[in-house]
Amino acid sequence: MGHELNVVSVTVPASGDISANQYLLVTRSTAGQLSLQTTRGALVYGVQEGNSTAAGISTKVNVGGRVKCWCGTSSDAEITPGTALVCSSDGTGVTASTAVSFIFGRAAEVLSSESTGLIAVDITMEGWTS
């Protein structure tokens, strides 16, 4: 299980009940509210740590440091320390592919192929791949 170190976090209002999204990747709307990021490779705001249960209620989002994050999918390759990570279509971190994607962080732990788990991730917000 992941561990945290030098975490930078902010509080942001939720767009609704996002309590099921703890340690998943979130985005911020033009209205300034958080929601689960569900577009593979898209820009992310951070990793949700809080568990707000209603719209407008602020929740904690980790935007820097070493944080816990759900990673992997049933079809993803093994994740090793240093692996570049992007958002999947369900808000987990997955191995960056050749498609243009936003790299939000680097794995700090190993996660076996074709599995999911809560691992330590260094949030780097490296930006778009080419």
- For the ranges 3-7, 58-62, 98-102, the maximum mean pLDDT occurs at 58-62
What pLDDT was estimated at residue 21? 92
How many angstroms separate the CA atoms of 98 and 25, rounded? Answer: 20
DSSP-based three-state secondary structure for 21: helix
Flag whether pLDDT at 97 surpasses 90. Answer: no
pLDDT band at 2 (very low <50, low <70, confident <90, very high): low
Q: What is the mean pLDDT of residues 10-35?
A: 92
What pLDDT was estimated at residue 114? 86
pLDDT above 90: percentage of residues in the chain: 69
For the chain, which residues make up each domain, given as ranges?
6-65, 67-128
